[in-house]
Amino acid sequence: LEQIPEDIKRHPSIAKQNRLLKKNLSSLILDRSYHHAAMLSLRDGDRRGRPDIVHFCLLEALGTPLNRELMLRVYVHTFDDKVISIAPETRLPRNCDRFKGLIGQLYRARRVPLEGKALLEMQPGTIYDLLRRVRHSVVLALSVLGKESTPAKVIEPLIHLDNPVLIVGGFPRGHFSESVTKLSDAIVSIDPEGLDAWIVVSRLLYEFESQSLLPVKRWNHIRKRQ
């Protein structure tokens, strides 16, 4: 996730979309579906311009019972070194263009909504800054280059720890930057061929719920509340 970078702001394909949408350039999020031609010259181009991946991952994460029970915290670290904190009660737009609009708004105002409790907040920061804030017990990064494992084996040792952190790359291919590799306690792979980021998110969160017996506990909670 990132804003349109300075070096390609004048590219014709971006100027065109901008005219069409009648929007301020600062609210445009880089998206390969529209900016492919402009992105050819970008460094690390194949890891960028896929807000849809972040969107799917967030929809998967925020809709889980784990999140509804306030047992999950979700952050996005952007390519341009911002950290987005997302409150568990946030309901994101299902439409990707509206999601991008929301993130554009966040880049301008640093919080959404402008008044009252913030649902999304953006602060400058590297992934290292983010981890320092989280007071993590352990950090695992998921990558097809990581050590052979399964979702069940990845989650098992985390169940009884305080604030274990899972890092999933919200990009289509390419690998983590060196800083992520360095600050992770381990890099693990849950499938030999690699999986879409949103599938990784959904499996790990469900496995965590499953091993915490949350599916059964949820029914018991509901009965108690009635």
First to last CA, the chain: 42
Distance of CA 4 to the CA centre of its chain: 18
Q: Which residues pair with 76 in a beta bridge?
A: 84
197-211 vs 51-62: helix axis angle to the nearest 10? 20
Write out the two tokens for 141: 């990064």
Residue 67 CB, shortest distance to its own copies, in Å, is 10
Q: Of 43, 94, 135, 182, which lies in the binding site for its own copies, with binding defined by CB under 8 A? A: 94
Q: How far apart are CA 119 and CA 111, in angstroms?
A: 8
Decide: is 68 part of the binding site for its own copies (CB under 8 A): yes
Decide: is 98 part of the binding site for its own copies (CB under 8 A): yes
Answer whether 171's CB lies under 8 Å from 53's CB.
yes
Q: Single out the segment in contact with its own copies by CB under 8 A; choices: 8-16, 36-44, 163-171, 206-214.
A: 206-214
Q: How far apart are CA 5 and CA 56, in angstroms?
A: 23
Decide: is 65 part of the binding site for its own copies (CB under 8 A): yes
Decide: is 101 part of the binding site for its own copies (CB under 8 A): no
Q: Map the footprint of its own copies across residues 134-193, applying CB under 8 A.
A: 148, 150-152, 190-193
In the complex, which residues of this chain contact its own copies (CB under 8 A)? 33, 50, 52-53, 56, 59-60, 63-65, 68, 94-96, 98, 148, 150-152, 190-193, 195-196, 198-199, 202-203, 206-207, 210, 215-216, 218-219, 221-222
